[in-house]
Amino acid sequence: MVKSSCKAGDKWQTSGQGGTVNWTVKSVSATVTVPAGTFTCIHTQGVSADGGGTADHWWAVGVGEVKMIADIGGQTVITELLGHSTDPSNGDNGNGGNGDNGDGGNGSACEVVLFDDFSGNLTDNWIPGRSVNVDDGIHDLSIENGELKWVQTWDYIESKASFGNDLVIEFDYRAGASSVQFGEFWVELVALTDTDHFTSGIYRGQYGNQNYHAVNIGRAPSPSDYNVVDKILDPPYLETMAPGSPREGKISFSYRDRQVQMQFENHQGEILKTNMVSTGNFTESKIRIWGMPNRFIDQVTVCVGENGGGGNGGNGDNGNGNGNGKAEFNLVKIVDTPGTIFYHLDEFPTLNNSGTVAFWADENRNWGTDGIYTGDGGTLSTILHVNDANVQDIWGYKSINDNGEVAVQLQYLQNNTTIEVRKDNSRTEIFSKNSYDGVNEVSDVADPQLNNHGEVSFWKSTWTPSGTRYGIFTSSGTGLKTVVDDTHGNAFKRFSKITSINDDGEVFFEAAPMGGEFSIYKSNGNTRKLIAAPGGRFQSVHDGVINNHGHVAFTGTGIDGYMSWTGMFMGDGDSVTDLILARIDGSTPFMFVTHASLNDHGDIAFVGLHDGLTSGNGLYAGVSPTNHKVIEAGDIIDGKEVSIVSMSRHSINNNGQIVFFVGFADGSQAIYRADPR
């Protein structure tokens, strides 16, 4: 955060739990090029007073921070803005999250319609006011050194303009040195069409009789509003911070799809962020910002667009790529029945970044004539068939990489189950079940997953005289690498037959530790990180997939009070971010979600249910069942009604193409690829 009115050479100092930092404005017209584009920036540099490190930040007015280079403890950390757009019709880039490449801003899929750095008059964009429930109703708001200052409680500013039902509000914030620490700030939507208001506030420390953070839902703040029933107290927080943390940073408020979220991030990088909380539908509203004495704000930005921006989601290099613009796709048929020789089709097809789809299919009603095939909408290619020489059976497992190689699992007539990588007429044996060293014999393998370097991850069990051993392994065909197993020192008792591997050799796996339930991890064989586990917020975690940035998308379940929920989440071993939350009572856009698929841009695809569906399910590529629908039960494709939809964990590629299976009401089946328009 930096004032747009600063000049080169300005200096100041900040202090907090991270120590004292001396700041200098190095330039107010620095040109910086990052993946999101080229920006004219204010360049600030912070130097730790104790010599612990330096940090250079580049800020663009109306955009926020676009680049940061920090040298901390001898390690250099670089973050860059990956996406920024003012086109309200583009909703597929969403919001770059708080991760390795920094914050891509709140909702790059929306248009900035109001920006105020308080360099002019307060009444240019705002109507100042005071709660009618206190004193004489006279406000005491003023602009001081380019910041809007609050002197007394219950004052507010209200926007002159009105806005649609989806928006993002963001502003720089600081608390004066003498301010007490409670009831920091509120943002309120004032509906013009009815009497409903929505108020969201970040409370730090004690507020009234509450000794924890809270989000206030209901009427505007007033002296008697501490304990009203229309509050949700202590909601699920994605990020928290200590009450004594620095109180200077950025506050953001997003409203989209009848849900709100509020976040405060201080200069120390600590984040206080709420979960998405359900509220009403505001079709036309004004914005009110309330404050407490000795609070200051600056750089207020309001961003709106078709169904708003991407909100505050996305953790990591590319953030959450699911903004709220309307998603539109062209459907490409890969294969169907009975239009081809096939009778049964794969319910879990996969695809690579070229859009080539790998799938299993059977030619016979009674099974037994199956194979693995690839296709891109034209001619199909046979990778493996049960009638090939010495082949006895084929498992449905398959994984395709960008080289067109396909990992498969099959059984030869000699009764040895084998994992192979096949392409055209070539094959590489990765592992065979009948490997035997005279003492130990492999008894089973499952779920081969292939990366772009020809490395395959898989689950394996091994019979030994002392009992069966289990683990997750990788191989490129020469040697076997143990990712994790249940032998000495690893403390795991069970492993799911599910893996996923990225191009760095990091493997996602599910395992149950001794005395615990199935949890989600990633490991490269040397370093293992826990992504998420049951306990606390989660009742269960499962169905994960890892991308090339080391981020794992997974499904979680839990209970809030008496209401159960499912959700899509993303974690990297350091933090977990909410992508979508679904409650069965219909208070959220979705009632149920499952089968997350994730690409390298942080875009997701998943199967879900919502209360608008009378039967069956649907496939979606974002947080809105209306704007991010790919296909759902009841839709008509090629003159036939869809009754069921399914997908795999590897269904979305880096171009946003999504492959899926559909079962039609007439009993026929098909596999399609959805191509973004």
Q: Cite the beta strand spans of 117-166 per DSSP E.
A: 126-130, 142-144, 147-150, 155-159
CA distance 292 to 296: 9
Q: How many alpha carbons lie under 13 Å from residue 61 in its C-beta half-sphere?
A: 15
Higher-scoring residue by pLDDT: 123, 9: 123
Higher-scoring residue by pLDDT: 396, 220: 396
Say which residues have a Cβ less than 8 Å from residue 49's Cβ, sequence separation at least 6: 19, 20, 21, 22
Are 343 and 108 contacting, i.e. CB atoms less than 8 angstroms apart?
no
Identify how many contiguous H helices and E strands the chain contains and give both numbers. 0, 53
Under the banding of pLDDT at 50, 70 and 90, the label for residue 91 is: very low
pLDDT at 1 over 60: no
Closest CA to 399 of 417, 377, 383, 418: 383
pLDDT at 359 over 90: yes
Q: Cis ω on the peptide bond leading into residue 338 (within 30° of 0)?
A: yes
Closest CA to 155 of 298, 300, 291, 297: 291
Compute the Cα dihedral for 437, 439, 443, 449 and give only its sign.
negative
Under the banding of pLDDT at 50, 70 and 90, the label for residue 284 is: confident
Count, residues in the chain: 677
pLDDT of residue 215: 42
Under the banding of pLDDT at 50, 70 and 90, the label for residue 261 is: confident
| Percent helix, strand and coil across the chain, each to the nearest 5 | 0, 55, 45
Higher-scoring residue by pLDDT: 101, 364: 364
CA distance 107 to 290: 23
Say which residues have a Cβ less than 8 Å from residue 74's Cβ, sequence separation at least 6: none
pLDDT at 527 over 80: yes
CATH 2.40.128 in the chain, residue ranges: 1-81
pLDDT of residue 212: 39
With H, G, I as helix, E, B as strand and everything else as coil, classify residue 223: coil
Tokens of 330: 């062209």
**Mean pLDDT value across residues 618-626:** 87
Lowest mean pLDDT among 527-541, 609-623, 642-656: 609-623
Distance of CA 265 to the CA centre of its chain: 18
pLDDT at 372 over 60: yes
Closest CA to 320 of 625, 551, 577, 603: 603
**Mean pLDDT value across residues 3-17:** 62
Does the domain spanning 1-81 belong to CATH 2.40.128?
yes
Determine the longest span between alpha carbons in the chain, in angstroms: 92
CATH 2.60.120.200 in the chain, residue ranges: 111-304
**Mean pLDDT value across residues 289-303:** 85
pLDDT at 218 over 80: no
**Mean pLDDT value across residues 246-268:** 76
pLDDT at 446 over 60: yes
Are 647 and 599 contacting, i.e. CB atoms less than 8 angstroms apart?
no
Give pLDDT tens digits for 474-510: 999 988 999 998 875 567 888 999 999 999 999 999 9
CA distance 520 to 534: 9
Closest CA to 126 of 173, 182, 221, 190: 190
pLDDT of residue 207: 35
pLDDT of residue 177: 64
Closest CA to 578 of 177, 273, 147: 273
What percent of the chain shows pLDDT beyond 70?
A: 71
Please tell me the class of the 329-676 domain. Answer: mainly beta
Give pLDDT tens digits for 553-585: 999 998 876 678 899 999 999 888 888 888 887
pLDDT at 196 over 90: no
Query: Which residue shows structure tokens 């403390």?
Result: 491
pLDDT at 220 over 50: no
pLDDT of residue 197: 55
Lowest mean pLDDT among 16-20, 52-56, 306-310, 393-397: 306-310
pLDDT at 258 over 80: no
CA distance 81 to 99: 11
Out of 215-229, 433-447, 606-620, give the one with best mean pLDDT.
606-620
Distance of CA 149 to the CA centre of its chain: 35
Q: What is the pTM assigned to this prediction?
A: 0.57
- DSSP letters of 505-541? --EEEEEEETTS--EEEEE-SS-EEEEE-SBTTBSEE
Higher-scoring residue by pLDDT: 648, 366: 648
CA distance 605 to 399: 18
Are 311 and 305 contacting, i.e. CB atoms less than 8 angstroms apart?
no
CATH 2.130.10.150 in the chain, residue ranges: 329-676
Quote the mean pLDDT of the chain: 77
Pick the CATH number of 111-304 from 2.40.110.10, 2.60.120.200, 3.90.650.10, 3.90.1150.10: 2.60.120.200
